[in-house]
Amino acid sequence: MVYFRKAEVTKSNDPNRVGAPLNYNPENSYTIWNRYEFRDGPPKGMAIGAGFRHSDAARMSGDRQNIIEIPSFTVFDLMISKRFVLAGRNVKAQLNVKNLTDKLYREGSDGFFAPKRGFFLSLGTRF
């Protein structure tokens, strides 16, 4: 968890900027993620995970005259994976779902829209 009590310009070549708020510094932002891997029984080698990211509302600009705020948001993510042997190699297949609820939100100091719901499938091994 990140918590800012005060985020402002303390030194600048422009004296008007001193004391101005920094761009995109939400008061609170945090990510919580948990993963569980099955070690016994039929689901052995399978793992599931879930988590979320949250950010409080934040100013897009440090300009005191131009106050534009990015609203707060919470985004949920899921993951499921399975380890197995393929052609004599240990392999892991994994599916991630980012932004599960397909929430439209802006993030970052540039205020661009974040990606909509995404599905990511990966297959990996070690050599």
> What letter does residue 15 receive in the DSSP assignment?
G
Q: What's the rounded Cα separation, in Å, for the pair 22 and 6?
A: 9
Q: Which residue has the higher pLDDT, 1 or 30?
A: 30
pLDDT value for 31: 94
Q: pLDDT per residue over 32-70, tens digit each?
A: 999 999 999 999 999 999 999 999 988 776 666 777 788
| Per-residue model confidence as pLDDT tens digits over 62-121 | 666 777 788 899 999 999 999 999 999 999 999 999 999 999 998 876 778 899 999 999
Residue of 17 and 103 predicted with greater confidence = 103
Tokens 């919580």 belong to 32
Q: Tell me which H or E stretch contains 85.
A: strand 73-86
Partner residues linked to 14 by β-bridges: none
pLDDT score for 4: 57
**Chain center to CA of 26:** 14
| Long-range Cβ contacts of 106-113 (<8 Å, 24+ apart) | 106/70, 106/71, 106/73, 107/55, 107/70, 107/73, 108/24, 109/23, 109/24, 109/60, 111/24, 111/60, 111/68, 111/70
